[in-house]
Amino acid sequence: MKNPFICLSRKDIEEILSFLKIEKIEDLFKHIPESLKISENLVLEGLSEQDTYKKIEEISQKNKIPESSRTFLGGGAYNHYIPSIIDHIVERSEFLTSYTPYQPEVSQGTLQAIFEFQTLLCQLTGMEISNASLYDGATSLVEAVFLGTRIYPERKVIWVSETLNPEYREVLKTYIQNFDYKLVVVPKTEEGTFDLKWIEKNISKDVLCFCFGYPNYFGIIEPVKEAVKILEKEKIITISCTSEMLSLGILKTPGELGVEIACGEGQSLGIPLSFGGPYLGILSTKEAHLRRMPGRIVGETEDREGKRGYVLTISTREQHIRREKATSNICTNQSLCALRACIYMALLGKEGYRELAQINAKRAYGLYQRIEKFSVFKKPFFNEFVVKIKNPEKLQEKGFYFGPPLEKDYPDLKDCYLIATTELNSKDSILEFAKAMEEL
Amino acid sequence: MTHHTIFFTKTHEWILPSEGKVGISNYAQGRLGDIVYIELTAQGKEVKKGDVIAVIESVKTTSDIYAPCDGKVLELNQEVTSNPGLINQDPEGAGWIIKIEVKEPFSSEGLMSKEEYETYIKTLSE
């Protein structure tokens, strides 16, 4: 044995290599570009606990920690206030240590929390069913598309709006690269929405689905109803992807607009920004697609004494039973993050949720009105919009953070940045930010 | 020659060539447990032997049901879609699943007679 932590014998390794018809283990990693590989053997030098803390602290000192109320960063992750009760409940060992129920029926508390999460999600999106959550917004989009492929196995063209988060589009592209699907980008108009005329002109029976952001990457509310009407003609599946779930507190729900699958990112619902994850994938749809939905679903039932109880349902289509024939390779969920979202939504309630959404929108519009001359698009938005500024570093010097910059993904949007406003941006900070921009 | 006798597959489907009816064996329904849902292939579809013609979901698992021979799907048993438990109650009778237009002459190659099948399932449970 070469390595005490790898329990394969030399013989095992040789057998595997000969079965795979390759010469050495390294051949398994051929597809990874050389530039990304570590050429020498990675030797870790051990540090004492105390030295480790010191080292990590030194590294963390490099972080610039902006003042929360001066952070206007958007683009798929949002800076919201997290009520302390969320951490308090989530850190209870009954929830914290049993992250996903493998012997589900003995975990009634976990199942009930997931069931309530699904219920709240259905109410929020206006859909009939929701699963127990997925990994994050980008993979929820992928799973929504795959759900669509099970509805129309013969359709091979996937439409994605150019105004949908570019990172999500990239993840989708990666997932489908080895399938015979064709990914087509539906162009944006000069107003920052998807092009309805293009859709009308190019519509065909080969199109499986149309994916768009709601609100879109620029924060704009897309003409969903109009699109649904056109797409219905060829029964094309509409997939809405919401990165800022709070927006659904005041926007029409995807369900009301006739959308078939609503997916998205639930980070706004009580989940910390934490450098990009763990976040929360959301997927809800019509009941007709129940058996095509990936992941787990919790159902409410009665035991033999007529008492209410919860079960994992439709799990006979999951990987541990169906193996390679499973509906999807998702066989777990983001239980803890879903629990956070569940507590967050339950805590705010319907009215509180709407009120918070209104506060977000009002502050964003307040800022927008003051800096309108920098704005790029003139369409209704929720709490995020695009500005064009020449020297952003001057604002950063004053402690204002915003973005991401759009040029990388949209070459025509040179010097353009996203600005998002939440309840954490105080009125004073908003006025100061507007003033700083005026002085540019 | 018309076959009035029933034939079985190794994957536990049965076919009655004279009527073209296809279902799952009593042994199979017993192994699956309570059947709660069935998804059927499209009517009129041309299937080849071994193609998936139905997906049966029981409380324990979800299983593919394969075509025992080539042919065109003539009829789907609507009784079992609305009441999947019928497959448990009468798997080799009223609980048939689809009807296939069997191509003549029917070839029983690779299929088993009832007696052969009974011997076969004994080897499985041992």
pLDDT tens-place string over residues A361-378:
999 999 999 999 999 999
User: Rounded to the nearest 5 degrees, what angle is found at the Cα of A151, between the Cα atoms of A150 and A156?
Assistant: 75
| A291 CB within 8 Å of a chain B CB | yes
Residue B37 C-alpha, separation from nearest chain A C-alpha, in angstroms: 10
Residue A250, SS3?
coil
Confidence (pLDDT) at B50: 93
For residue A290, the chain B residue with the least C-alpha distance is B37
Long-range contacts (CB closer than 8 Å, 24 or more residues apart) made by A315-322? A315/A104, A316/B57, A316/B58, A316/B59, A316/B60, A316/B61, A316/B62, A317/A291, A317/B57, A317/B62, A321/B60, A321/B61, A321/B62, A322/B61, A322/B62
On chain B, the residues whose CB falls within 8 A of the CB of A152 are none
**Amino acid at the residue A89:** I
Give the minimum alpha-carbon distance from A293 to chain B in angstroms, rounded to a whole number.
15
Lowest average pLDDT, out of A132-141, A321-330, B65-74, goes to A321-330
Look at residue A239 in the predicted model and tell me its pLDDT. Answer: 98
Alpha-carbon distance of A25 to B21, in angstroms, equals: 52
Best A290, A316, A321, A327 residue to mutate vs chain B (most B CBs within 10 Å): A316
Give the model's pLDDT for residue A2.
58
> Angle at Cα A165 formed by Cα A162 and Cα A168, nearest 5°?
105
Taking CB atoms and an 8 Å limit, are A322 and B39 in contact across chains? no
Using CA coordinates, name the residue in chain A closest to B59. A316
Contact between B39 and A291 using a beta-carbon 8 Å cutoff: yes
Full DSSP string of B50-72: T-EEEEEEESS-EEEEE-SS-EE
The type of residue at B2 is T
- What residues of B are in contact with residue A322 (Cβ under 8 Å)? 61-62
Q: Contact at 8 Å (CB) between A380 and A250?
A: no
Reported as a pLDDT band with limits 50, 70 and 90, residue B78 is very high
DSSP annotation of A201 reads H
- Residue A40, pLDDT > 70, answer yes
A chain contacts of residue B58, beta-carbon cutoff 8 Å: 316
On chain A, the residues whose CB falls within 8 A of the CB of B61 are: 316, 321-322
Lowest mean pLDDT among A54-58, A180-184, A313-317: A313-317
Given a cut of 50, whether residue B89 has pLDDT beyond it is yes
Q: Is A358 on the interface with B (CB under 8 A)?
A: no
A325: nearest CB among B58, B59, B64:
B64
3-state secondary structure of A173: helix
Is A1's pLDDT higher than 70? no
Q: Do A322 and B62 touch (CB under 8 A)?
A: yes
- Amino acid residing at B41: T
Strand partners, B64: B55
Average pLDDT, chain B: 92
Beta strands in A85-198 (DSSP E): 129-130, 157-161, 182-186
Nearest to A99 by CA among A334, A282, A281, A302: A334
Asked if A356 contacts A245 with a C-beta cutoff of 8 angstroms, the reply is no
C-alpha dihedral over A128, A131, A136, A138, to 10 degrees?
-60
Establish whether the linkage from the previous residue to A411 is cis, with ω within 30° of 0: no
Does the pLDDT at position B68 exceed 70? yes
Question: Do A322 and B61 make contact, defined as CB atoms within 8 angstroms?
Answer: yes
Which residue among B59, B60, B62 sits closest to A317, beta carbon to beta carbon? B62
Mean pLDDT over residues A400-425, rounded? 97
For chain B, say whether A320 makes contact (Cβ under 8 Å).
no
Query: Is B2's pLDDT higher than 60?
Result: no
Gap between the Cα atoms of A267 and A77, Å rounded:
7
Asked whether this complex has an ipTM greater than 0.90, the answer is no
What is the DSSP code string of A2-36?
Answer: --TT----HHHHHHHHHHTT-SSGGGGGTTS-GGG
Please state the rounded mean pLDDT for residues B52-56: 94
pLDDT-above-90 percentage for chain B? 79
Burial class from Cβ neighbours inside 10 Å (0-12, 13-18, 19+) for residue A48 reads: exposed
CB proximity A321 to B under 8 Å: yes
Strand order in the sheet with B52-58: B35-40, B52-58, B62-66
At residue B65, the pLDDT reads 96
CB-CB under 8 Å, B58 with A316? yes
Contact yes or no for A107/A98 (Cβ under 8 A)? yes
Assess whether the previous peptide bond of A404 is cis (omega < 30° from 0): yes
Query: Within 13 A of A15's CA, how many CA atoms are on the CB side?
Result: 5
Residues A158 and A236: their CA atoms lie apart, in Å, by 10
Contact across the interface for A321 and B61, Cβ inside 8 Å: yes
Task: Examine the pLDDT at B39 and tell me if it is beyond 80.
Answer: yes
pLDDT in tens, A60-109: 999 888 899 999 999 999 999 999 999 999 999 888 887 666 678 888 99
Our CA angle for A131, A133, A136, nearest 5°, is 140
For tokens 């536990």, name the residue: B12
CB A381 within 8 A of CB A214: no
Q: Which residue would you say has higher pLDDT here, A411 or B1?
A: A411
The answer to whether A240 touches A212, Cβ cutoff 8 Å, is: yes
- Quick one: how far is CA A420 from the chain centroid? 17
Average pLDDT, rounded, for chain A? 93
Chain B hits for A313, Cβ within 8 Å: none
Q: Chain B residues with CB-CB distance to A under 8 A?
A: 37, 39, 57-62, 64
Asked whether the predicted pLDDT for residue B1 surpasses 50, the reply is no
Q: Residue B3: which pLDDT band, with cuts at 50, 70 and 90?
A: low
**pLDDT at res. A372:** 96
Q: What pLDDT was estimated at residue A195? A: 98
Side-chain half-sphere of A340: how many Cα atoms within 13 Å?
A: 22
Closest CA to B87 of B45, B56, B109: B56
- Where is pLDDT greater, at B117 or B106? B117
Q: What would the mean pLDDT of A259-286 be, rounded to a whole number? A: 96
pLDDT at A99: 63
Among chain A residues, the shortest Cα distance to B62 is held by A316
Rounded Cα gap, residues A245 and A214, in angstroms: 9
Residue A360: CA count within 13 A, CB half-sphere: 31
Better pLDDT: A118 or B124 = A118
User: What average pLDDT does the segment A410-435 reach?
Assistant: 97
The DSSP annotation for A36-100 comes to: GS--S---PPP--HHHHHHHHHHHHTTS----GGGEEE-SS-------HHHHHHHTSHHHHT--S
Distance CA A249, CA A246 (A): 6
Percent of chain B with pLDDT over 70: 96
Measure CA of the first residue to CA of the last residue in chain A; give whole Å.
66
Q: Which stretches within chain B are classed as H helix?
A: 26-32, 78-82, 85-89, 114-125
- The Cα–Cα gap between B87 and B81 comes to 10
CB A328 within 8 A of CB A146: yes
Question: DSSP string of A282-346?
Answer: EEEE-GGGGGG--S-EEEEEE-TTS-EEEEEESGGGSHHHHGGGSS-S-----HHHHHHHHHHHH
Q: Is A292 on the interface with B (CB under 8 A)?
A: no
Over residues B13-38, mean pLDDT: 95
Torsion angle, CA of A293/A295/A299/A303, rounded to 10 degrees? 130
